[in-house]
Structure 1
Amino acid sequence: MRKLVLLAPIVTLAACGGAGPQSVGSNAAPAGAPQSPSNSHSFVAPTVQKTYSAIGGVHSYAYTTQTGGNAQTGQLYAGDGSTARNSGITVDYNPRDAIFEVKIVAPNANVNQTLRFQDPLHRTDFGGLREPQVGVPRLSAGGIQYLQAGARKEPVRFDPAQTDMVPVGDPTGIYNNVSFFYQKPGTETKYVTFAGYVRNNTAIVEEILPGGGSRILQNNTLERAAFAYGERTDIDAVPRTGSATYNGAMVATMVYNPLRDSVNNAPTYFQWIEGRSKTTVDFGASSFTLDLTGTTFAPQYDAFTSKQTVLGAGATFTATGAGRVDLVNGGGFLGQFTAASFGAGNNVTIAGSSIDGAFFGPAAAEVGGGFRIVGGTPDQRIDILGAFTGIK
Structure 2
Amino acid sequence: MRNYLILMSATALAACGGGGGPEAVGGTAPPPVPGGGGTPTPTAHSFVEPTQNKVYEGVGSVHSYNYSTRSDASGQYSELYAGDATTARDGGITIAYSPRDAIFELTINRTKAGVDTSPLRFQDPAHRTDFDGARQPQAGVPDIDNRNIQYLQAGSGGGDPLPPYVNPEPSYSTLPYGGNQYQSDVVTYFYQKPGTTTRYVTYAGFVRNKVNVVEVTVEGQLDANGDPYKYLENNYTLERAAFAYGERTPNSAVPRSGSATFSGDMIASMVFNPKLDDPGAAADTYFQWITGSGTHTVDFGTLGILSSFTGRVGPIARDAYSDGDHDMPEGSTFTANAHAAIDLVGKGGFFGQFDSASFRRPDGSTFTLNIAGSSIDGAFFGPGAEEIGGGFRVVGGTPDERIDILGAFTGKK
TM-score in terms of structure 1 length: 0.90
What does the per-residue CA deviation read over 1:337-374, in whole Å, with 9 as the maximum and x for residues that have no partner?
00000026310000000000100002100000000000
User: How far 1:35 sits from its partner (Å)?
Assistant: 6.3
The answer to whether structure 1 residue 140 and structure 2 residue 145 are counterparts is: yes
The answer to whether structure 1 residue 107 and structure 2 residue 111 are counterparts is: yes
User: How far 1:95 sits from its partner (Å)?
Assistant: 0.7
What does the per-residue CA deviation read over 1:111-148, in whole Å, with 9 as the maximum and x for residues that have no partner?
01121001111011111121101111001242100000
Q: 2:381 — aligned with what?
A: 360
One-letter amino acid matched to 1:201: K
Q: 1:34 — aligned with what?
A: 28
Q: 2:271 — aligned with what?
A: 255
Evaluate the alpha carbon distance shift between residue 282 and residue 26 of structure 1 in structure 2; reply closer, same or farther with a 3 A threshold: farther
The answer to whether structure 1 residue 308 and structure 2 residue 325 are counterparts is: yes
Evaluate the alpha carbon distance shift between residue 309 and residue 197 of structure 1 in structure 2; reply closer, same or farther with a 3 A threshold: same
User: How far 1:236 sits from its partner (Å)?
Assistant: 0.2
**Structure 1: segments with no counterpart, 5+ residues:** 1-5, 16-24
Percent identity of equivalent pairs: 51
Residue aligned with 1:210, SS: strand
What does the per-residue CA deviation read over 1:226-259, in whole Å, with 9 as the maximum and x for residues that have no partner?
0000000000000000000000000000100001
Residue aligned with 1:108, SS: helix
Q: 1:48 — aligned with what?
A: 52
Q: 2:128 — aligned with what?
A: 123
How far apart, in 2, do the equivalents of 1:35 and 1:307 lie?
49
Q: Is the 8 A contact 1:89 1:105 kept in 2?
A: yes
One-letter amino acid matched to 2:382: G
Q: 1:63 — aligned with what?
A: 67
Match runs of 1:338-357 below 5 Å: 338-343=355-360, 345-357=366-378
The higher relative CO (CA closer than 8 Å, separation ≥ 6) is in: 1
How far apart, in 2, do the equivalents of 1:266 and 1:159 lie?
19
One-letter amino acid matched to 1:371: F
Residue aligned with 2:23, SS: coil
One-letter amino acid matched to 1:340: A
Q: 1:274 — aligned with what?
A: 291
Evaluate the alpha carbon distance shift between residue 40 and residue 159 of structure 1 in structure 2; reply closer, same or farther with a 3 A threshold: farther
**Structure 2: segments with no counterpart, 5+ residues:** 11-20, 32-41, 163-168, 221-227
Q: Is the 8 A contact 2:242 2:406 kept in 1?
A: yes
One-letter amino acid matched to 2:27: A
How far apart, in 1, do the equivalents of 2:7 and 2:114 lie?
13
Q: Is the 8 A contact 2:175 2:209 kept in 1?
A: no
How far apart, in 2, do the equivalents of 1:166 and 1:230 lie?
33
One-letter amino acid matched to 1:387: A
Evaluate the alpha carbon distance shift between residue 159 and residue 277 of structure 1 in structure 2; reply closer, same or farther with a 3 A threshold: farther
Q: Is the 8 A contact 1:266 1:306 kept in 2?
A: no
Q: 1:194 — aligned with what?
A: 203
Q: Is the 8 A contact 2:390 2:408 kept in 1?
A: yes
User: How far 1:175 sits from its partner (Å)?
Assistant: 1.4
One-letter amino acid matched to 1:100: F
Q: Is the 8 A contact 2:75 2:322 kept in 1?
A: yes
Evaluate the alpha carbon distance shift between residue 274 and residue 280 of structure 1 in structure 2; reply closer, same or farther with a 3 A threshold: same
Q: Kindly name which structure, 1 or 2, has the bigger radius of gyration based on alpha carbons.
A: 2
Tell which deviates more after alignment, 80-89 or 339-348.
339-348
Q: 1:175 — aligned with what?
A: 184
What does the per-residue CA deviation read over 1:138-186, in whole Å, with 9 as the maximum and x for residues that have no partner?
0124210000000012444797843x5685x531011110000000000
User: How far 1:34 sits from its partner (Å)?
Assistant: 2.8
What does the per-residue CA deviation read over 1:196-218, in whole Å, with 9 as the maximum and x for residues that have no partner?
00000011110111022211100
TM-score in terms of structure 2 length: 0.86
User: How far 1:13 sits from its partner (Å)?
Assistant: 6.1
Residue aligned with 2:49, SS: coil
For these two proteins, the number of residue pairs brought into alignment is: 373
How far apart, in 2, do the equivalents of 1:191 and 1:135 lie?
28
Q: 1:299 — aligned with what?
A: 316
User: How far 1:40 sits from its partner (Å)?
Assistant: 2.1
Q: 1:21 — aligned with what?
A: none
